[in-house]
Amino acid sequence: MTTRRDFHRASIGALACLPGSSIHALGALGRLAPLTGAAGAAALVTATSASHAATGTGPYQWRSVPFGGAGFVNGFVFHPREAGLLYARTDIGGLYRFDAVGQRWLPLLDHLGRDDADLMGVLSIALDPGNPDRVYAACGTYTGEWARKAALLTSSDRGLTWRTTELGIKLGGNEAGRGTGERLQVDPTDPRVLWLGTTRDGLMKSTDSGLSFKRVSFPGQHVSLVLIDPSTGSGNAPVLWVGCTDQPGLFVSRDGGASFSRETATPAQVPQRAALGPQGDLYISFTAGGPGEVPNPGYARTGSVWRRTPAGAWTEISPIKAGAQPLGFGYSGVAVDARAPGRLVVSTLERWGAGDELFLSTDHGASWTPLAARSRMDSSGWPWLDNFQQGRRRMGHWMADVQIDPFNGERAVYGTGYGVWMTGNLGAPQVQWAFTVKNLEETAALEIKSPSGGAALLAAMGDHAGGAWDDLDNTPRTGLFAPTSETNRSVDFAWLNPGVVARTSDAAATGGYLSLDGGASWSPFGPSPRATKTPQGWTAPAGRVAVSAKGGFLVWAPERQAAMWSRDRGRSWQLCEGWPTDRESTLEPVADRHVEGVFHVFDRANGTILSSVDGGRSFQIVVKGLAKLQAWQTAQLVAAPGAARHLWLALPQGLLHLPGAEQAPRAARLITEAWLVSVGKGAPGSAHHSVFVWGKANLGGQVSDGLFRSDDGGSTFVRVDDPRHRYGRLLSICADPLEHGTVFIAPHGRGVLVGRPA
């Protein structure tokens, strides 16, 4: 257990009496003197005193901070010939292999860096039936113009190392339709042959174990699944079953993929999943959405389940049939017991009324047993899930895939929009399911902070609110943010009074909450002039909040709206005067860590820093001549403790250090590009705090991107990540103010991780 902080209760108690409307000890900031001319322009060219850096990598140990799943796990593949070998894919969090001995998941794509972050979206997995060490992953998160092109990742050691083959197309691992599959298959009769169904580029084939692919003639563009039937068609070629989304229906090739025809006995719905029984029966689930909708995980309006006998006869075997009216839900997962002919399980999809569930059959689908009523769901150890479900959606939602262990028909696994359930007694009168998400962390923590006292970590998360961790070895129990199902955009605390914590929430009626006890209890913000809807009618993102040094004032900047300030800890709000007028960028207020009532903001559009010395009431320019950025460019301003207006600014052009109110900005010359920055406890005996930068650094004459630390005010840097631990795109970082060298990172879809010097 790594609980390491005692709340500074005496100081918190004293500071809690601070009048919200008073500002003390403004010092030199009482009169704002902007830096202009040479002082401002020099910000990007002035070097620090030292001209060299440590060139070695600081060895760090990285591990997940437990929350527990909390993301869409949309596909599983068991190896057919090696017992216990199981993989899981996610839409934004990479690929995992299950460690049955430790009952935990092993992340396999943490080596991907920022430029390859889109490969963390895994659209499909394929295993070589004849080689348990060989695994393939078709990776690509989005198909938009701005997205990275997709790649096939190939491993010959079960995911320890990978070869990357660029595909030249884009895949939608986090787009509509991602719950279907599998789209990637290895021909069981010839392991050199791979088939890949794509998001918008039809069907592709490789004959050299994935080194290259060529498109084959196929009627559709958006392929939902590929299944290879080892029973032969004409000329000993395998039979291929291919599902299509844009030409809804099932297609078959009996000549090894040379030609395809529509299987007209099946419905004009989108095939979701397919499974071959041990005697050659084929089972397929179907779902249909409305016009223009791509089902799975959403947009399921109706659906069905079908069986094809070895003789070629098709029969609908849906547990609940649509009849003349749409079901209001569809079907997705389908799996067979490889050792018991006729035994199979299917899952519903988007059945919001009664809740999604599994159905089990032992007679080829002639009759079904619903499993929800006879299932016992054990989520012990993961208290956030109880808060999230609140007795609803008992078996889960977005149940895109279910699989039965080919070596043990009682063992099954299925995924949901928030994690993984496993059982070892599928056919029992009372089925025991365990929430099995140890080391599978898929939350998107949008902002993380490490307070100066109290909790070790605060995290504002998309979809699941977040929480406060006192113990970094376990998911929060008493520190969970509520309601658990809301997206929280931001969290901040009072540096000199860390019991005061504020967070913003998109779904909250007033946009946010305030705590006076370190996150144990919360009060909603009072009314404010913010807009709750975007011009398009969507819920307006709640944006960023900053808490003053002693907790008496708040500044809140809802996304793309004017900022507001509060002198009574969020009970009432007024618009800030002098706040930047740019509404294309998300402007982030920053509280000074040294002086109460002082706030700062970087105006990206105009290349200026503005400060307020009256609790956020008004802002004035204090630094001019910085780089002007486009709305899509990344920048971050943070405040350091110990001095008034002590700031660090991460920019596409590098890293700036603003040591104090009367000192000009200086550039950390070794950092050539900076995306995120945070400050933490300094090294023993050092007068400087530590600085962590996610960006690009020139170490030893070589520029590389990664996570770097400086212990001497930005003169030298050491790299703290390594080629196996890069984690794609980071959303937030925060250095520990009480433990030198400790840093928390929040990758997109990989939860929160903590790194410490080895």
Catalytic residues: 91, 463
* Among 482, 573, 467, CA closest to 522: 482
Question: Is residue 142 within 8 Å of 174, Cβ to Cβ?
Answer: yes
Token pair in block for residue 314: 């098709």
For 70, phi then psi, to 5°, come to: 75, 20
Burial of 67 (0-12, 13-18, 19+ CB in 10 A): buried
Degrees, nearest 5: CA angle 85-91-92? 105
In this structure, are strands 636-639 and 60-65 parallel, antiparallel, or unpaired?
unpaired
Q: How many CB atoms within 10 Å of residue 225?
A: 25
In this structure, are strands 690-699 and 671-680 parallel, antiparallel, or unpaired?
antiparallel
Distant-in-sequence, close-in-space partners of 476: CB < 8 Å, separation ≥ 6 = 67, 383, 384, 467, 468, 469, 470
Token pair in block for residue 509: 């009626």
* Among 330, 331, 363, 356, CA closest to 346: 331
Cα–Cα distance measured from residue 436 to residue 109, given in angstroms and rounded to the nearest whole number: 20
Encoded amino acid at 405, one letter:
D
* Among 171, 167, 178, CA closest to 199: 171
Question: Is residue 490 within 8 Å of 501, Cβ to Cβ?
Answer: no
Full DSSP string of 225-258? EEEEEEEE-GGGPEEEEEEETTTTEEEEESSTTS
Show the beta-strand stretches assigned E in 198-343.
203-206, 214-216, 223-232, 238-244, 249-253, 261-262, 270-276, 282-288, 302-308, 314-316, 330-336
For 133, phi then psi, to 5°, come to: -80, -15
The CB-side HSE value for 152 (13 A sphere, CA atoms) comes to 27
Give the residue carrying structure tokens 């509520």. Answer: 482
Q: Would you give the distance in Å from CA 603 to the centre of its chain?
A: 28
Cα–Cα distance measured from residue 180 to residue 223, given in angstroms and rounded to the nearest whole number: 9
Question: Is residue 530 within 8 Å of 575, Cβ to Cβ?
Answer: no
* Among 305, 392, 404, CA closest to 351: 392
